Structure 1
Amino acid sequence: MKRTYKDITYTLKQSKRKTLSIYIEADSSVSVLAPESKTISDIEKVIENKRYWVYKELAEKEMLNAARIKRDFVNGQGFLYLGKSYRLSIVDTQDVPLKLLNGYFCLRQNDVETAEKSFIDFYRQKGMKKFAARMRYYQEMLGVRPAGVRVLDLKTRWASCSEDKMLNFHWKTMMAPMKIIDYVVVHELVHLIYPNHTDAFWNEVDKILPDYTERKEWLKENGVSLDI
């Protein structure tokens, strides 16, 4: 449900959660997650208290979004995979629409018009294996058991943890370096222990990734470049 408080338009979602959180999404929209017990008046008092923080975050997002990269599906264009850029090569024939071969993303000529779908399918297929492997590695350290993994289009989120303990990852995350993927995986696994971003949550992340603040900042600054 969309609402407006003064000059801040936000999307409100209320559930059985215990705390209220405000998120500035990648597309500069504002999301508020609040307990069902909170009235609109209660919610907007919190927004008022954090109003200047919201302004600061929105200004930063606007600046970063201005640097968004537009990629064309032409020979020589670079596309990211696991933090590295590979040039695109349009080929006459091959057994699949898109493959990574000899340092190039090879796109079948007949599939240029559906190239975006071919890249998304590639990232989702690779992501299922990569995220599952990293989850198995870190879940042992944390003593958690996620129900499974899904690779989806999460719009403005890099990942999410469902109430059924499924971990969901945006296919765009597969463009990031492995250390950033590991940060996203650990972040969601810790949500199985601490649903909210409390001090206890970040302390748990810190135990596994002592440099998590650097990884978090990298994603904040470079996330807009992870796109096709």
Structure 2
Amino acid sequence: MEISGIDIKIIKSKRKTSSIYIERDGSVSARVPETLSDNEIVDLLKAKEYQIFKHLAEWQELNENAVEREYVSGQSFLYLGRNYRLKYDEVESGKLYFKRNTFYLNPTDQPKAKDLFVKFYKQKLNQKLPKIVKSYQEQLGVYPNAIKVMELQNRWASCTPNANVNFHWKCAMAPIDVLHYIVVHELVHLIHPNHSKAFWNEVDKILPKYDEQIYWLKLNGAGMDL
């Protein structure tokens, strides 16, 4: 649906409220109750037109931090909130190594460097996430059926109706406190499947300074890419 020259993806569900999101790639989506007619959706979007343009302007400003990375020696890559440089050396091929605050690849692996970085991030998250999830599930009284690391396009994480919690492999680039926030955010969604006041109150009980982690993601999210 197009409003004032902006293409907006409409997602209907059984929710009672409407929310508009600027996705990480700059696209706009609106999640609305399935009971709304097309005319009612148009009226809703027009009423929020100023808000949409404002958030798009903020997205453009924040995305000035986007980084075009090349897989050459000296290029820096994020891991747990810090940048570390890549160096090509005579290490075993087929694997990305991280030691002495440096990433190492065999020169023959340069064509598949991105795939090896993705594999590295997935492995590290799969090692760290179960412990972090366990530390919060007792407090919240929720127990996800499965924890998965995958490609999630424009989401840092998501949870499914059958209580699976999924995390984008890029989360391994975030500082550990931000990773904790992402985990808590998704676990609370197992209680409140929305972003209502009750949802944020529950997050606040666990992480009183969660707004600092949200700000870090807004400021640095565009740079969390390969």
* Same fold flag (TM > 0.5): yes
- 1:118 paired to 2:126: no
Q: Deviations over 1:135-183 (max 9, x none)?
A: 1111111110111111111111111111111111111111010011011
Q: What is the match of residue 34 of structure 1?
A: 32
- The structural deviation recorded for 1:95 is 5.7
Residue aligning to 1:48:
46
Q: What amino acid is the match of 1:112?
A: Q
| Deviations 1:51-85 (CA, angstroms, capped at 9, x unpaired) | 11111110011122233111111112111111122
Matched residue SS, 1:150:
strand
**Amino acid paired to 2:4:** K
- Once the two structures are overlaid, the 10-residue window that deviates more, 203-212 or 42-51, is 42-51
Structure 1 residue 16: Cα displacement: 2.5
Asked if 1:24 is matched to 2:19, the reply is no
Number of equivalenced pairs: 226
Q: Structure 2: which amino acid aligns with 1:122?
A: F
8 Å CA contact 1:19, 1:196 repeated in 2: no
Q: Which runs of 4+ in 1 moved over 3 A?
A: none
Q: Which runs of 5+ in 1 are unaligned?
A: none
The code of the aligned residue for 1:141 comes to Q
Seen in structure 2, the aligned counterparts of structure 1 residues 217 and 93 have a Cα distance that, compared at 3 Å, is: closer
TM superposition score normalised by structure 2: 0.95
TM alignment of 1:197-208, pairs within 5 A: 197-208=195-206
User: What corresponds to 1:91 in structure 2?
Assistant: 89
Q: Deviations over 1:170-219 (max 9, x none)?
A: 11111010011011110110000001100000000000000011111111
Percent identity of the aligned residues?
Answer: 46
Residue 220 (structure 2) aligns with = 222
Amino acid aligned to 1:186: V
SS class of match (2:65): coil
- Any residues of structure 2 matched to 1:56-135 within 5 Å, and which? 56-94=54-92, 96-135=94-133
Asked if residue 211 in structure 1 is aligned to residue 181 in structure 2, the reply is: no
Cα pair 2:91 2:104 within 8 Å, conserved: no
1:36-56 deviations in Å (ceiling 9; x for gaps): 211112222221222111111
Which secondary structure does the structure 2 equivalent of 1:174 belong to?
helix
Task: Please tell me the residue identity of whatever aligns with 1:225.
Answer: G
Q: Once the 2 structures are TM-superposed, how far is the Cα of residue 115 of structure 1 from its aligned partner? A: 0.5
- Residue 86 of structure 1: how far off its partner (Å): 1.4
Partner of 2:141: 143
Which residue matches 1:189?
187
Runs of 5+ in structure 2 lacking a partner?
none
Q: Distance in 2 between matches of 1:85 and 1:112?
A: 19
With normalisation by structure 1, the TM-score equals 0.94
Q: Structure 1 residue 32: deviation in Å? A: 1.2
Q: Provide the C-alpha distance between the structure 1 equivalents of 2:40 and 2:136, rounded to a whole number of angstroms.
A: 38
Checking the alignment, whether the CA contact within 8 Å between 2:94 and 2:116 is kept in structure 1 is no
Alpha-carbon displacement from aligned partner over 1:90-110 (angstroms, at most 9, x marks no partner): 122316421112221111222
Once residues 143 and 171 of structure 2 are traced to their aligned partners in structure 1, the CA distance between those partners, rounded to angstroms, is 22
Question: Helix, strand or coil for the counterpart of 1:62?
Answer: helix
